[in-house]
Structures are given as C-alpha cells and as structure tokens.
Chains A and B, each alone.
Chain A
C-alpha cells in the first residue's frame, strides 16, 4: 500500500481543508477511502453511529497536483483507513500558508497519514512542519460496509432553504424539544415542526422547488404518483443530529436537497463543485 500526494494549489488546499473540517464536525471517526480517482469519507449507517450514514466524495485531481496511490492489491486497488478527521483538519489548518503540502501514508509508531509542509518565513530557510495523524487500516473483509449507499426510494425530494436559515430555526427549536419533524411535498413546500405537551411550533418554507430526478434517478418507480402533490411526506428525527449536520457546514453548497422516505429516513445531499456530501438521518418513532 502506498500513498504519496502533493497539494500545490492554495485554493485546492483551502477547499480540501474546509471539506475535512466539515467532516470533523459531523463525526469523530470515519473511514477514508482512496481510489485512483477519488477520495471518500464514509460513515456507515450502523447502530453504533446512531444510525447516521455519511458519504462524502471528492475527486482526487481537484485536491492533489501529484498523486500516487497503490492499493492493497491490483484487483483491490484502493486504500481504506479509519481516521479521526479532527486531527486531519487541525493539521491542514496549520499549513494553509505553505507553498506545497505533502500527504503520505507512513509507518511511524503506527500507520499514519503524514502531512508535511514547508512554511514561508522571513529568513532564507523555510520552516518545516510535520503532522503524523494516526490511522487504522481497514481490512478488506470489512470493505463492504463502506460502499456507496444506494439512493433510497424517496417519496419526496425538495431543495433545501438556505442552510443558515435552517440552522437558526433548528437551533431555537432544539431548546423546546428533542425531536423534530421534517416534512415536504411535491410543490416545493417544506415544514419543520416540533410538538410538545405545551407548545407546537412550525416553520413553513415555500417555493423551494423540487429537483427533477426523473425516472432514472430513483429505483422502483420513484415518487409515488398516486400521492397528492400537496400531501406532506414526513420523518421525525432526533433534532441534535440535524443540528449537527447544519452546524458543520463550512462550504456554501451550490445545490442542497433533501429526500424524505416517509417515516423512514431523511437523506440530505449537498453539492459543491465536485464535492458531494450525503447525510442520512434515520427517522424515530
């Protein structure tokens, strides 16, 4: 297994750092998959993670100027590592001013992702900083847990309102209840509702628009045609999980969508340039 990459473009470094920082705010530990073309940050939707699933994909060419990767074997030409994204984020944040950043898979006291950079200084010699981020190699027999999740059979897909607005609403609702109901319909309306014994609060969003998935985007017939366009499809989720998702966003997405499977799962999709982030929040009773 070998990995050597160099990031030379400041903008790419900046963007990569922000993606990693976003991931670090969503989860403490995740799996990093490296293939010849892509990088994936994956959280499998296991009970241990509270049922949360995450899939973040970016193309390696938009991060690295030089990239050499040799996977576990020629048939399984990929590297799968378990990493604490916060460490990676911290390391990357300190090297933002560097002319070049090297990323290597190394073996120090344990397998590590080493981030090394030369920082510019006032003097002739540059300052060299090295961060060794410990990682765990994920064995091949477990790779099936970290495959790209299939698009669920959603009932409604809707574009999200501005994330900042959503975050403000959810932050305040969190003070009143632990659970929030997200509902949306086929005419671009979305509601965020909380209900307690004493009070219920609903925030209505209109004219959001529905993404045109078409028949090929979803399996099994897609949105139910027999459903009334105004009928709301809903899922009740743990409000903290939604809040965590909204708090972590560092990159302003160019597209933000939400697919709801009635009373099953909320599937959030954010797209920005070549970076896509999918986040699955299971519904609770």
Chain B
C-alpha cells in the first residue's frame, strides 16, 4: 500500500483521525479499491464510525494487489503523527503512507518545509473486518443541515451528558436530555430544544419516532463537520435501529453510526408539547444492562489477512467466526451513498446464496436481521429469534 496525501488534505485526514479517536481506541485501516477506509468502534459496540477517502483524495493511491489488507493500530499513535493541526497546516507539504508487510509497520512520513521529514513507523495488528450493518437510505427520517445547527443545539447540553433523545413530527424536531429511570429523577435538570423544519436544508419525516442515543460520541463528527463546513445528514428509523450521521463531499464520506435504545427502554414520559406519541412502555422487567440495548449489528469476521493466522482462511463471515467473536455476530453490508460521485460498490460479506450464517440474537433486541431483509430496503416482515450460540453472557 502506498498513498500520498498533499496540501490541505493532510489536515482533513488529521481531523478525521481525531474525530475517530472520540469513538474508540483503535483505528482500523483498510485500503479498498474505492478508497482508503478508516474505521473505529467503541468497546461496547454501540458507536461506529467510518471515513472513506476516495482515490482522488490522494495524489497517489496504490493498494496491495492480490489480497485484501486490513489492520488496526492504536489510535493514539496515529494521533501523535498528526498532533498539532496548526503546525500541520503551516509546515507539512505532504504525507506519505506506506505499508511494510514484512515488519508489520505502517509508515507515515510527513514531508515538511525546509526539507524536514518526520517518519513514524507504527506497528499494526491484523484485524477482523469491521463494518457495521446499516441501511441509511431505508430509514424513515432524513435530515440535512449545516453543522452549525447541530453544534448550537448540542451546546445547550453539558459536556458530561450521556444520552439525548431526538423526537420528530412533520414540522419539528425536539432534542432533550435523557434521564435514566434509575437515576434520581427528581434531581435531574431537563433541557429541551425545539427546532423547526425550516432550519434544516432537508427535513423529511415519514415516521414520528423518538430515538435515544449517546451524545458524547457524536461530538467528534460535529467538530469535523464544523471545521470543514460540510453539511451533516442525519438518518434514523425506529428506536433500536441505529442513527446515522454522515458528511460527504466529492472525495470523502464519513459515517457515524450510533446505536439507539430500543423501544423497551423508552420509558421517558411523554412531553405534552410533542405531537408524536411513544408506544406505551412495557413493564420494566429486563435485567439487562443498557449497553446491550445499544449494540449495533456488527460483522467481526476474520479476514484472510497477510500474516499467518492459525485459522484456515474461511470465507468471510462464515459461521466459524461467529463462534469466536465475543461481540455480536452479524452479517453486514455497507451501502454506499448514491448521491455522491464516488464509485459505488457494495461490499457483501455474505452472499444470499450461502446457507444462513449465525444470526445475532438477543432477547433484548427488537429485531434480528434475516438474510432477505438485507437485500431489500423493505421493512422486515418476519423475523426468527434463535437462541444465541455465542459464549458471552448477554446480560
């Protein structure tokens, strides 16, 4: 792999890495034909982000031929390469990223002014493929706005705030902080902000839903979008299915996928001002941790990587993987954006022709994705819930 980023794009790359660092501790790097994918996921698998830089973003873009390469690097090490954004802008002329497969190094060389070169050799680990399952184009509610709107909204909430609930009606969006039922409700301060549809560039609501998700992880995207001035698109569906926020331009696409609380947990009292209504909350007899309710469907299959792993190289997303991964096992599909000029290529990690892989099942999840549902954008009509085969305790 051999890529060169020049000029202002170095700073964009750096900003993307910094915003990914708000999600997880590791940076998953995957040079693909349609561009360089940088991904991150948090430890509870409730937040995932991916930046895809098209080949045109680079002044040179060569990927390893013959085999797919994936690795993960401690994100702090990569951040150290791009530490000071101001310095990057002033002194770095280009950034050369090279893969040294023999030594398991990814070398970042910053070519700076006055002939100065800073070389960073970062060791990587082979990694599983990391792609979240989401089909944002099928989601009922789509919005787009200038990042300033979201930044101005988020400023009303304290930095320590974990969760927010976003509710929509045909003309309005309400954003309020979510208070856990277990917490001392009487002492919690409640803040609610109401945005009108004409503040958005695009506001399309098909379902008057309410979703609750973690705000902290989103702030990384907001910083990125605000500094690059790119509009943010927001997609969400029912509670339980993730909320997706994207930024795109001609050479890059960033997607932040955050899991939302599923309906069973949405006990939040109806605010009389809101026009939409929540379904009546079921009795709270689940002993599960909220974290489970937040899981996003993820594929963590082992890639047939360059270094020798002890496993035989199974076809990607085979059922073997499901036994290993401690986290959820799902088949995944990453849908590219149709609107962008980027090359559209669908990465299928499982064909429909194969026998059904292990599906992630959880009693605490509202839905399980069956193979057919992933091929269409129609809502899933029938679902099968199987007992989980994995060893981890989903409690």
B80 at interface (Cβ–Cβ under 8 A)? no
B187 at interface (Cβ–Cβ under 8 A)? yes
Is A94 in contact with B156, judged by CB distance below 8 angstroms? yes
B269 at interface (Cβ–Cβ under 8 A)? yes
Is B195 in contact with A127, judged by CB distance below 8 angstroms? yes
A108 at interface (Cβ–Cβ under 8 A)? yes
Binary contact track B149-185/A, C-beta < 8 Å → 1, others 0: 0000001101000000000000000000000000001
A231 at interface (Cβ–Cβ under 8 A)? no
A132 at interface (Cβ–Cβ under 8 A)? yes
Is A90 in contact with B190, judged by CB distance below 8 angstroms? no
Is B188 in contact with A127, judged by CB distance below 8 angstroms? no
Is B194 in contact with A87, judged by CB distance below 8 angstroms? no
Please give, as numbers and ranges, the residues of chain A lying within 8 Å of B186 by CB-CB distance. Answer: 109-110, 134
Best-surrounded residue of B185, B189, B196, B199 (most CB of chain A within 10 A): B189
Is B194 in contact with A90, judged by CB distance below 8 angstroms? no
What number of A residues sit within 8 Å (CB to CB) of B? 23
B198 at interface (Cβ–Cβ under 8 A)? yes
Known contacts A94-B156, A109-B269, A129-B156; is-contact A123 B187 (Cβ 8 Å): no
Closest to B146 in A: A122
Closest to A129 in B: B193
Is A127 in contact with B189, judged by CB distance below 8 angstroms? no
Q: How far is the CA of A18 from the CA of B188 in the complex (A)?
A: 22
CB distance from B153 to the nearest CB of A (A): 8
Is A125 in contact with B189, judged by CB distance below 8 angstroms? no
CB distance from B183 to the nearest CB of A (A): 12
What number of B residues sit within 8 Å (CB to CB) of A? 18
B309 at interface (Cβ–Cβ under 8 A)? no
Closest to A136 in B: B186
B191 at interface (Cβ–Cβ under 8 A)? yes
A124 at interface (Cβ–Cβ under 8 A)? yes
CB distance from B269 to the nearest CB of A (A): 7
B226 at interface (Cβ–Cβ under 8 A)? no
CB distance from A217 to the nearest CB of B (A): 41
B98 at interface (Cβ–Cβ under 8 A)? no
Interface of chain A, main secondary structure: mixed
Closest to A133 in B: B189
Is A131 in contact with B191, judged by CB distance below 8 angstroms? yes
Closest to A109 in B: B185
Is B198 in contact with A125, judged by CB distance below 8 angstroms? yes
Please give, as numbers and ranges, the residues of chain B lying within 8 Å of A126 by CB-CB distance. Answer: 196
Q: How far is the CA of A92 from the CA of B76 in the complex (A)?
A: 37
Q: How far is the CA of A112 from the CA of B189 in the complex (A)?
A: 9
Please give, as numbers and ranges, the residues of chain B lying within 8 Å of A109 by CB-CB distance. Answer: 185-186, 269
Known contacts A90-B158, A94-B155, A129-B156; is-contact A123 B189 (Cβ 8 Å): no
Q: How far is the CA of A91 from the CA of B196 in the complex (A)?
A: 21
B265-307 residues at the A interface, CB under 8 angstroms = 269
Closest to A113 in B: B189
Q: How far is the CA of A129 from the CA of B158 in the complex (A)?
A: 14
Is B193 in contact with A127, judged by CB distance below 8 angstroms? yes
Q: Which of the residues B155, B188, B192 comes within 8 Å of A130, measured between beta carbons?
A: B192
A128 at interface (Cβ–Cβ under 8 A)? yes
CB distance from B202 to the nearest CB of A (A): 13
Please give, as numbers and ranges, the residues of chain A lying within 8 Å of B188 by CB-CB distance. Answer: 134
Is A121 in contact with B189, judged by CB distance below 8 angstroms? no
Closest to B155 in A: A94
Binary contact track B181-225/A, C-beta < 8 Å → 1, others 0: 000011111111111101100000000000000000000000000
Q: How far is the CA of A112 from the CA of B155 in the complex (A)?
A: 22
CB distance from A273 to the nearest CB of B (A): 29
Closest to A121 in B: B199
A110-154 residues at the B interface, CB under 8 angstroms = 110, 112, 121-134
A51-78 residues at the B interface, CB under 8 angstroms = none
Please give, as numbers and ranges, the residues of chain A lying within 8 Å of B196 by CB-CB distance. Answer: 121, 123-127
Is A127 in contact with B187, judged by CB distance below 8 angstroms? no
Is A108 in contact with B190, judged by CB distance below 8 angstroms? yes
Is A134 in contact with B194, judged by CB distance below 8 angstroms? no
Closest to B187 in A: A134
Please give, as numbers and ranges, the residues of chain A lying within 8 Å of B269 by CB-CB distance. Answer: 109
CB distance from B84 to the nearest CB of A (A): 30
The 9 closest A-B CB pairs, nearest first, are A125-B196, A110-B186, A132-B190, A123-B198, A128-B194, A87-B189, A94-B156, A130-B192, A129-B193
What is the interface of chain B, defined by CB distance below 8 A to chain A?
Answer: 155-156, 158, 185-196, 198-199, 269
Sample 17 A-B pairs with CB under 8 A, ordered by A number: A87-B189, A109-B185, A122-B199, A123-B198, A124-B198, A125-B199, A126-B196, A127-B194, A127-B195, A127-B199, A129-B191, A130-B190, A130-B192, A130-B194, A131-B191, A132-B190, A134-B188
